[in-house]
């Protein structure tokens, strides 16, 4: 194989790697919850709202796509396959930040969803004691 063919193959591989990173980033973005899904919730009570919100915040699919994007990005970067990877790096960081926020909020909602029924039970006990 000539050096020219090697360069051409490397260029094709670099384009494919970048394409893989971009595809996984787009899939991660698509898997993020819709803003309306976490803002508008229909439920009969507080626990229903919290459970609906917790479901809307689910981000496992985002995590998987982000992991794949970072994997291919790392390979491409180590192979020095990207002429300019700043846009990819920024997109990865942006999605990571949103994912961190989703996880934090989901943890908080989970804590509330587990303590609200306990609080309700305590309040009902106090009310029963008064009667």
Q: Residue 80: pLDDT band by 50, 70, 90 thresholds?
A: confident
pLDDT of the residue at 10: 83
Of 27, 38, 40, 39, nearest to 95 (Cα)? 27
- The number of beta carbons lying within 10 Å of the beta carbon of residue 78 is 8
Tell me the CA end-to-end span of the chain in Å, nearest whole number. Answer: 91
Which residue stretches of 1-85 are H helix? 3-31, 35-39, 46-56, 60-78
pLDDT tens-digit series, residues 8-65: 888 888 889 999 999 999 999 999 999 998 998 888 999 999 999 999 999 999 999 9
Residue 2 reports pLDDT greater than 70: no
More confident: 10 or 77: 77
pLDDT tens-digit series, residues 95-129: 999 999 999 999 999 999 999 999 999 999 998 88
Helix (H) or strand (E) holding 128: helix 86-130
More confident: 1 or 100: 100
Q: Residue 1: pLDDT band by 50, 70, 90 thresholds?
A: low
Task: Name the residue ranges covered by the structural domains of the chain.
Answer: 3-130
């Amino acid at each position: 194989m000539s050096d020219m063919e090697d360069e051409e193959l490397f260029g094709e591989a670099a384009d494919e790697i970048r394409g893989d990173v971009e595809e996984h980033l787009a899939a991660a973005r698509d898997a993020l919850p819709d803003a309306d899904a976490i803002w508008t919730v229909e439920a009969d009570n507080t626990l229903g709202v919290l459970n609906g919100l917790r479901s809307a915040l689910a981000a496992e699919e985002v995590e998987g796509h982000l992991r794949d994007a970072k994997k291919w990005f790392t390979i491409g970067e180590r192979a020095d396959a990207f002429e300019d990877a700043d846009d990819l790096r920024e997109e990865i960081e942006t999605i990571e930040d949103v994912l961190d926020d989703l996880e934090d909020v989901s943890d908080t909602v989970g804590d509330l969803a587990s303590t609200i029924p306990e609080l309700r039970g305590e309040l009902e006990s106090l009310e029963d004691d008064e009667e």
